[in-house]
Chain A
Amino acid sequence: GQQLNQSPQSMFIQEGEDVSMNCTSSSIFNTWLWYKQDPGEGPVLLIALYKAGELTSNGRLTAQFGITRKDSFLNISASIPSDVGIYFCAGPRRFGNEKLTFGTGTRLTIIP
């Protein structure tokens, strides 16, 4: 079945650094979604990608839909303390299927 692997599993960075994480699959995805989950909260949708090669920004966040359609990338520029949390990628399991497969998550920690 389709699985989404996220890398790295965790990151420890200093405030102001840029962050890069990715999400890979053994199968093709037609949509990629990126969510962020703060401690004690539900995931919040950050960016949605619909087309191979698409590059979309949301403030300091930029996400890309990989050309192979088997991967996606999320970058955060000039990290700030509120960026701390877990970042999940997600995509529909099959075209036309409304259930999402979620990635394993990347936990971002900012070192004071």
Chain B
Amino acid sequence: GAGVSQSPSNKVTEKGKDVELRCDPISGHTALYWYRQSLGQGLEFLIYFQGNSAPDKSGLPSDRFSAERTGGSVSTLTIQRTQQEDSAVYLCASRPNRGYEQYFGPGTRLTVT
């Protein structure tokens, strides 16, 4: 079956502009996660959606970052007024209702110039 997809695969933007990153989870998966990975680093948790519950936003680094998940499926991560330190790979993962295994998309590489 289809895996997690993300778009765009690469995004180059100017400092100060807003960007939107999209994630399509695996069909039927109830949980969706966003992570950030800086070059050569590990995964930094950003936000987590589970069903209709309020999202866990505890990992968002600043109020410039926000995310929504419409209809329990597609999610959009928005970064406002981008800064150069926002440059990273943004990874999305989804998880079925039971278990801990998360399945990752290919990521969006964001470059802020």
Residues of A within 8 A of B (CB): 31, 33, 35, 40-45, 48, 88, 90-92, 98-100, 102-105
Contacts and interface: CB of A to CB of B under 8 A. Distances in A.
21 contacts: A35-B104, A41-B107, A42-B4, A42-B93, A42-B104, A42-B106, A43-B43, A43-B104, A44-B104, A45-B101, A45-B102, A45-B103, A48-B99, A90-B102, A91-B100, A98-B31, A98-B95, A99-B45, A100-B45, A100-B102, A104-B42
Q: Which 8 A-B pairs have the closest CB atoms?
A: A42-B104, A102-B43, A43-B104, A42-B106, A92-B100, A31-B100, A42-B107, A42-B105
Contacts of B31: 98
A47 to B, nearest CB: 10
Given A31-B100, A92-B100, A98-B31, A41 B106 contact: yes
Given A42-B91, A88-B42, A105-B42, A100 B100 contact: yes
Nearest to B56: A99
Interface residues of B, number: 22
Given A42-B4, A103-B42, A98 B101 contact: no
B60 to A, nearest CB: 14
Given A88-B43, A104-B42, A99 B48 contact: yes
A103 B91 CA distance: 16
B86 to A, nearest CB: 19
Given A43-B43, A99-B48, 18 more contacts: A31-B100, A35-B104, A40-B106, A40-B109, A41-B106, A41-B107, A42-B93, A42-B107, A43-B91, A45-B103, A48-B99, A48-B100, A88-B42, A88-B43, A91-B100, A98-B50, A99-B45, A102-B42
B20 to A, nearest CB: 19
Interface in B72-113: 91, 93, 95, 99-107, 109
Contacts of A31: 100
Contact of A98 (B48, B103, B104, B107): B48
